[in-house]
A and B are shown apart, each in its own frame.
Chain A
Amino acid sequence: MYVAVKGGERAIDNAHALLAEERRGDQKVPELTLKQIQNQMSGAVDRVMTEGSVYDPELAALAIKQACGDLVEAIFLLRAYRTTLPRFATSKPLDTNAMTLRRRISATYKDLPGGQLLGPTFDYTHRLLDFALAAEGGAPVNPTETAPSEVSDQVPRVLEQLNQEGLIEPADTGEEKIPGDLTRDPVSFPADRSVRLQNLARGDEGFLLALGYSTQRGYGRNHPFAGEIRMGEVAVEIVPEELGFAIEIGEITVTECEMVNQFAGSKEAPPQFTRGYGLVFGHQDRKAMSMALVDRALRCRELGEEVEAPAQDEEFVLYHSDVVEAQGFVQHLKLPHYVDFQSELEMIRRLRASFQNQTPAAAE
């Protein structure tokens, strides 16, 4: 006699317990600390903060630990946590002009005021596995002799130079606009650039990288040059109502990328270079650059370009960039679908039966 399957609740509890075991791994190996993750896996921490939309390296480290290093899971944890946080102020726009620079490069000029400051980068490393790192308790890394970080009033923006000559479209349209807020309101199309940029900042790094790459390979080419990439610390300021003036509440690390893209012109206006913009938490050149490439591609409408390629397709990009949404829907296929499948079974059996009996199609 068939007895309906029960025990789903116990199965779930057991699955949780198994997961906890797997997360911890071999008990003889020391447990990961949040400080270790924060300090020695900053690449992971930076990505999780950016896509999780919360700047808190310790929380990101916790999420990474809880997720066993699965960064998509960690991003999800951080986003879910963010939902519970009360919002008590909106900061002023970050002033990246006043950034304490640790890295600043430009591909458009060989040399420029402020110089090319490489900072800590993988760029020129040779990707050879360093087995010395496999040993624990290795020799301490000696602090490098570096010049004090440039404060950027001595480091003018590259694109500002171009702007002074009128060679590039201004960054500021001059209109006062309140940016949309994707964490509160759903996107509606056509979308504002501020909403698009938010979506891209939170968007999956891999997806944006692929789209950015596609523009370089001819799917909506826009001739990009890396005008400037900056990385360093910026102040976060709010203006409390009681005070009426700005106070600094903290400092965060960001990476900013400004792309110089192909010029557009018309009969009324002379040609000017156009811009693409990317901004992320922490040190992530790759994501900031991908974001700038896709930002520029999505500006096709306002720049009068034909929409030819996926990276230019606003609905395609904005609807599929969120890794939390994407992983949810893809993985939901693991949920039981047996009722719908049963409906399909019944339908297909019926159709095959009528095919077998050669019942004529219901035409007149």
Chain B
Amino acid sequence: MNQSHEAPLLTADNVTRYYGEHVGCRGVSFDLWPGEVIGIVGESGSGKTTLLNCTSGRLPPVSGTVQFATRAEGLSDIYEMSEAERRMLMRTDWGFVHQNPRDGLRMAVSAGANIGERLMAIGDRHYGDIRRTAGDWLGKVEFNIDRIDDMPSTFSGGMQQRLQIARNLVTKPRLVFMDEPTGGLDVSVQARLLDLLRVLVDELGLSAILVTHDLAVARLITHRLMVMRRGEVVESGLTDQVLDDPQHPYTQLLVSSILQV
């Protein structure tokens, strides 16, 4: 993990979000550095998905700020920028991998078109080149290139997830948000996917914020970990430290109740 850069890629400061009287998340602050993967773990209802949505521009917090180091203007508040700028960011410099790949793919168009869409959205107009790039990315996510023209509904869950990842990475984003990317997949398929993610993160120098309820996933892929409970971060630190030597009683409970991988 590289911390030689001077500024964090993303800074969350006191992010708070309520649903009526129910706390989504409260007072969460953290920095994400280039090349770093942060995990947010907790049980359902802990607020981890809310936090992910707040930091990825999908859900404005009621108080607190989220700032991202844009290429053009450096650290900018993502909710102060115009909708046009935010949407552009979501299509180019950011990626979002949904738990259910159907939410992150166009099911009615081919694999190649799914990957090519972002390129076409930023102005690429050469069919051959787009197709070639799509093919390259299918290769990178260990996808059979012969299936470039097939529809996503013909793929297994694991394949759809890899397609979703390729679709997000084609514009070489610097930050990828992931919401339980391995949820719903078989254990062996999960393992393969996590390996792939780890390799891609390393190769491409990606940063990521990954939400999961599965500590094993966190251990395999994240550098740092935040443990959430009832909307608040109860413990954070280097992943191995948090998992091997949990300080907070809740973390201890979490850790002790899973099978060690």
Contact = CB atoms under 8 A, between A and B. Distances in A.
A267 B131 CA distance: 53
B132 A364 contact: yes
Interface string A272-298: 000000000000000000000000000
A364 B21 contact: no
Contacts of B123: none
A266 B128 CA distance: 56
Interface string B149-161: 0000000000000
A362 B149 CA distance: 13
A268 B19 CA distance: 12
Nearest to A363: B131
A186 B25 CA distance: 41
Contact of B20 (A267, A362, A363, A364): A267
Nearest to B22: A267
B46 to A, nearest CB: 20
A96 B156 CA distance: 61
A268 B128 contact: no
A363 B21 contact: no
Nearest to B130: A364
Contacts of A363: 128, 131
A364 B129 CA distance: 8
Nearest to B18: A267
Interface string A326-364: 000000000000000000000000000000000000111
A235 B21 CA distance: 47
Interface residues of B, number: 7
Contacts of A267: 20-22
A200 to B, nearest CB: 30
B127 A268 contact: no
Contacts of A266: 20
Contacts of B132: 364
A268 B127 CA distance: 56
A268 B131 contact: no
Interface in B2-26: 20-22
B17 to A, nearest CB: 15
Interface string B55-98: 00000000000000000000000000000000000000000000
B119 to A, nearest CB: 15
Contacts of B22: 267
A270 to B, nearest CB: 14
Nearest to B112: A363
A181 B128 CA distance: 51
A22 to B, nearest CB: 46
B127 A362 contact: yes
B59 to A, nearest CB: 16
Contacts of B20: 266-268
Contacts of A364: 128, 131-132
Contacts of B127: 362
A38 to B, nearest CB: 53
A131 to B, nearest CB: 57
A8 B21 CA distance: 70
A364 B116 CA distance: 15
Nearest to A266: B20
A205 to B, nearest CB: 35
A263 to B, nearest CB: 16
A364 to B, nearest CB: 4
A31 to B, nearest CB: 56
Interface in B92-147: 127-128, 131-132
A267 B20 CA distance: 7
A231 B22 CA distance: 45
Interface string A11-51: 00000000000000000000000000000000000000000
Closest 6 A-B residue pairs measured CB to CB? A267-B21, A364-B128, A267-B20, A266-B20, A364-B132, A363-B131
13 contacts: A266-B20, A267-B20, A267-B21, A267-B22, A268-B20, A268-B21, A362-B127, A362-B128, A363-B128, A363-B131, A364-B128, A364-B131, A364-B132
Given A268-B20, A364-B128, A364-B131, 10 more contacts: A266-B20, A267-B20, A267-B21, A267-B22, A268-B21, A362-B127, A362-B128, A363-B128, A363-B131, A364-B132
Interface of B: 20-22, 127-128, 131-132
